[in-house]
Amino acid sequence: MTAAVKPASRPFEVTNRMVFSIAAPMTLAFLTTPILGIVDTTVIGQFGDARLIGGLAVGAIIFDIVFTTLNFLRSGTTGFVAQAFGRDDGAEQQAVFWRAIILASGLGLALLVLAWPIREIGVWLMAPGEGVADATRTYVTIRMLAAPFSLINYALLGLLLGQGRAMTSLALQTLLNGINIAGSIWFGLVLGWAIEGVALGTVLGEATAAIAGFWWIRRGFDHAHAPTWDHIFERVEFLRLISVNRDIMIRSFALLAGFSLFTRTGAQFGAVTLAANAILMNFFMIAGYYLDGFATAAEQIVGRAIGANHKPAFWRAVKLTCLWGFALAGFTTVIVFFAGGPVIDFMTTAEGVREIAKTYLPWAAVTAVMGVLAFQMDGVYIGATWSRDMRNMMLASLALLFALVYVLVPVYGNHGLWFALNAFLGARGLTLLANLPRRARTVFA
């Protein structure tokens, strides 16, 4: 039996500048998403019809569930491309790209075929009023036309991030959301097409970004090292991509289940507490946008280090991204703790909601610190394509959340619920961190 040959090391230096060159543009890119949601809601709000606003909100939730689940196309592509980039294997980078494009196109077409049942199941689960349901059906039917383009954009972004081209990623996301915003305003407000116009704006943005991004990336390929079709459809590598994506999808399902349990349990305390919890969760969601930026930096640099077989770069990437993540998370916690009250007053005029939200504000303030390690470890494990560990640790953390909710909520009420959420976030990060040295040894042994 011939022993496996250890690949040659390709050393490179990991610096703060390298980390920020990826994290900063991606933070800006991620921040364009809530701006888009605000614009869409504002456009629909000009028509003064609560049913349209409700239809947009319910439709957005349905798409969030579907596309958050399918975001593995971006994550899985990033990890494999980053590793090929670290090996300086241009042919494999292109092969991963084409595999991701083929998978994205197939899943996008499947969503088009399944649009009607997805729409009807979503409406049934959300159970909105009759007028809201009609608006939801209209929005989902039109916006689903963008499904193939949306998934292709995940693959495009995955390649760019895997290669560390964060500025190009920012440009692509800005193009996508910019045209989406302009289209929503034009079709929805100027032409007066309301919710149909907002949905068409999304289709236009996704399609334009997919076509322009695909053309730009394809144009920049080194065609002298283009992979053959046999290489692209190599069975083992294709199945490996599917396997990693499957595990990340399960992990995303579990994460959604955790937040859904938090919301559903909070609803048992009444509408006022439910509204207060929803307002407080915005602090965590906002922190997530820039924490995701450093997690993305971890994805690329860790994947590159593994591909380059350079252990010092791996641990340096883990250290720097975690340090900066904790620094920003700590800053966020302090700001939320001391400035959260006025923000709550701005977000709602309901005195009951204000009072309850301020009572539980300290719990919301610490979510950034409790969750930062989970963000960073997700980035590390995605870059390393250790998807099975991500899946297993997420499921274990979800089981802990269910147990804590079952034990603590009946005794401590909403305080117990917020404790359980923070424990869930912390457990995700700590279990992945504890597993990290063992996994690293298997790669760099």
Q: Give the pLDDT confidence score for residue 34 in this predicted structure.
A: 66
Q: Give the pLDDT confidence score for residue 62 in this predicted structure.
A: 84
When pLDDT is cut at 50, 70 and 90, the band that residue 28 belongs to is confident
d(CA 439, CA 423): 24
* Distant-in-sequence, close-in-space partners of 90: CB < 8 Å, separation ≥ 6: 84, 222, 225
Query: What's the token pair of residue 284?
Result: 């965590």
The lowest-confidence range among 11-20, 162-171, 222-231, 414-423 is 222-231
Q: 327-332: which pairs have CB atoms within 8 A and are 24 or more residues apart?
A: 328/287, 328/290, 328/291, 328/294, 328/368, 328/372, 329/287, 329/291, 329/368, 329/369, 329/371, 329/372, 330/368, 330/369, 332/283, 332/287, 332/368, 332/369
pLDDT tens, position by position, 80-101: 999 999 999 999 999 999 999 9
Residue 395: CA count within 13 A, CB half-sphere: 10
Average pLDDT over residues 385-400: 95
When pLDDT is cut at 50, 70 and 90, the band that residue 431 belongs to is very high
d(CA 354, CA 356): 6
Q: Give the pLDDT confidence score for residue 6 in this predicted structure.
A: 59
Question: Per-residue b/e over 316-338, b at no fewer than 16 CB within 10 Å?
Answer: bbbebbbebbbebbeebbeebee
DSSP state letters, 251-310:
HHHHHHHHHHHHHHHHHTT-HHHHHHHHHHHHHHHHHHHHHHHHHHHHHHHHHHHHHTT-
* Distant-in-sequence, close-in-space partners of 421: CB < 8 Å, separation ≥ 6: 258, 262, 363, 367, 401
Amino acid code (one letter) for 288: G
Q: Give the pLDDT confidence score for residue 318 in this predicted structure.
A: 96
* Distant-in-sequence, close-in-space partners of 235: CB < 8 Å, separation ≥ 6: none
pLDDT tens, position by position, 349-358: 778 888 988 9
Average pLDDT over residues 219-242: 88
Q: Examine the pLDDT at 3 and tell me if it is beyond 60.
A: no
Q: What percentage of the chain exceeds 90 in pLDDT? A: 58
Helices (H), 14-129: 16-45, 50-69, 72-86, 90-113, 115-126
Average pLDDT over residues 440-445: 87
Q: Examine the pLDDT at 405 and tell me if it is beyond 50.
A: yes
Query: What's the token pair of residue 128?
Result: 């909105």
Q: Examine the pLDDT at 389 and tell me if it is beyond 80.
A: yes
Q: Give the pLDDT confidence score for residue 351 in this predicted structure.
A: 84
d(CA 390, CA 424): 14
Q: Give the pLDDT confidence score for residue 1 in this predicted structure.
A: 36
Amino acid code (one letter) for 361: L
Q: Give the pLDDT confidence score for residue 52 in this predicted structure.
A: 82
Q: How does the average pLDDT of the chain come out, rounded?
A: 89
**Global pTM value:** 0.89
Q: Give the pLDDT confidence score for residue 45 in this predicted structure.
A: 77
Average pLDDT over residues 144-172: 94
d(CA 99, CA 242): 10
Q: Give the pLDDT confidence score for residue 2 in this predicted structure.
A: 39
pLDDT tens, position by position, 30-75: 777 767 776 777 788 777 777 887 788 778 878 888 888 888 889 8
pLDDT tens, position by position, 183-227: 999 998 888 888 899 999 999 999 999 999 999 999 989 888 889
Q: Give the pLDDT confidence score for residue 423 in this predicted structure.
A: 97
Average pLDDT over residues 265-269: 84
Q: Give the pLDDT confidence score for residue 7 in this predicted structure.
A: 66
d(CA 276, CA 197): 32
